[in-house]
Homo-oligomer: A and B are copies of this chain.
Amino acid sequence: MALIVQKYGGTSMGSPERIKNVARRVAKWKAQGHDVVVVVSAMSGETNRLIALAKEIQDQPDPRELDVIISTGEQVTIGLLSMALKEIGVEAKSYCGWQVRVVTDSAFNKARIQSIDEAAMRGDLSEGRVVVVAGFQGIDEQGNLTTLGRGGSDTSAVALAAALRADECQIYTDVDGVYTTDPRVVPEARRLKTITFEEMIEMASLGSKILQIRSVEFAGKYKVRLRVLSSFEDEGEGTLITFEEDENMEKAVVAGIAFDRNEARINVKGVPDKPGIAYQILGPIADANVEVDMIIQNVGENGTTDFSFTVPRGEFPRTMGVLRDVQTHIGAAKIDADDKVAKVSIVGVGMRSHCGIASTMFRTLAEEGINIQMISTSEIKVSVLIDEKYLELAVRVLHKAFGLDQAIAN
């Protein structure tokens, strides 16, 4: 007997047939005696359809009204899933975000959850009902509808689990867990039984996009036991996301290899080495709403320095346009760029207490003749930027070098 919050994404809710499958899965948990709260996304494609409709009216849709429109996607699926549950004899009741009072701030399209009133849900659960809640949406203090941004349903699920002090929050997705790396690149990649929150955050933000990063942070903050599972397989325990301190097992030093092809590198050469130069370069880029990823500035000489950073590949032309406009102003001698680069990262909390991990990475790449263009590090990861054509090779050799293809690890 446990209280479980389950979240099903747009693919799982993609058709009436799939919704019936979700109902059967929920019914199975209920039949085992558990209390179940289900959080759902809109049917796959629906949110995009609604955004496209809005853009036919306004190129830049009004943020408040856009949330009014796109929050209907989840409102449809909570109704459909509740019906599907009733149809197989499971009592269920749907709630929109505002009905359970998922109160957020007023940042339309990217609102953040501030509080949840769990009283109504508790009442339903105690009367034996499954509670079906619309993910992705909330209401601000003024009574306006809000949405949480892409992937916000994960955050809704974790926030509900936190509010209800649920025993586990299960995120059902189209993969059956978190892998040591992408199995399409390395067939030997293994599913991790557990991964720490910190590793998960680094893996997610580095391109292994399974969970919305904010939901993982939320789970860490409120100590929610979070599990990633496949919504298409009936067996399997997925990957449990743990707190490092809970973990007694001897862990591999490196948990996984993440990578991201969506990178473009820009070097601004020969800029005056003076205070404020980073802001002069990156300020106009931030103003153009381009998100900068890796940033490197080397020690300068002769009064000038080189400044390098990466941006998402799709933003590359726009970023170059911005830079050309300011090149004279910032006094840069030259702008050098390459949009055929990729980022490879090794991630693992074990790196904190082990030396030489980075040098193992660099040696492994050097042995294959792969040149490293940029390096950036954090406490639990090392990322390198390399020529895109070597990406698969790099991931494969690193996966082997850190012993990730051996079943014994983790």
Contact = CB atoms under 8 A, between A and B. Distances in A.
B75 A68 contact: yes
Contacts of A54: 79-80, 83
Contacts of A58: 83-84, 86-87
Interface string A66-93: 1011011001101110111011000001
A249 interface: no
Interface string A356-391: 000000000000000000000000000000000000
Contacts of A71: 75
Interface in A291-346: none
Nearest to A143: B99
A117 B159 CA distance: 32
A69 B79 contact: yes
A33 interface: no
Interface in A37-62: 50, 53-54, 56-58, 61-62
Given A16-B56, A68-B94, A96-B68, A62 B76 contact: no
Contact of A65 (B19, B82, B143): B82
A119 to B, nearest CB: 12
A332 B87 CA distance: 41
A190 interface: no
- Among A62, A65, A72, the most chain B Cβ lie within 10 Å of the Cβ of A65
A83 B57 CA distance: 7
A83 to B, nearest CB: 4
Contacts of A83: 54, 57-58, 61-62, 65-66
Interface centre among A54, A72, A84 (most CB of B within 10 A): A72
B86 A78 contact: no
Interface string A10-29: 00000010011000000000
Given A68-B96, A69-B75, A19 B86 contact: no
A86 B62 contact: yes
Contact of A84 (B50, B57, B76, B87): B57
A77 B284 CA distance: 37
A280 to B, nearest CB: 36
A108 to B, nearest CB: 11
B76 A75 contact: no
A272 to B, nearest CB: 45
Interface of A: 16, 19-20, 50, 53-54, 56-58, 61-62, 64-66, 68-69, 71-72, 75-76, 78-80, 82-84, 86-87, 93-94, 96, 98-99, 143, 145
9 contacts: A16-B56, A54-B83, A58-B86, A62-B86, A64-B93, A69-B76, A72-B72, A72-B76, A99-B143
Across the A-B interface, the 6 shortest Cβ-Cβ residue pairs: A72-B72, A69-B79, A16-B56, A68-B79, A65-B79, A57-B83
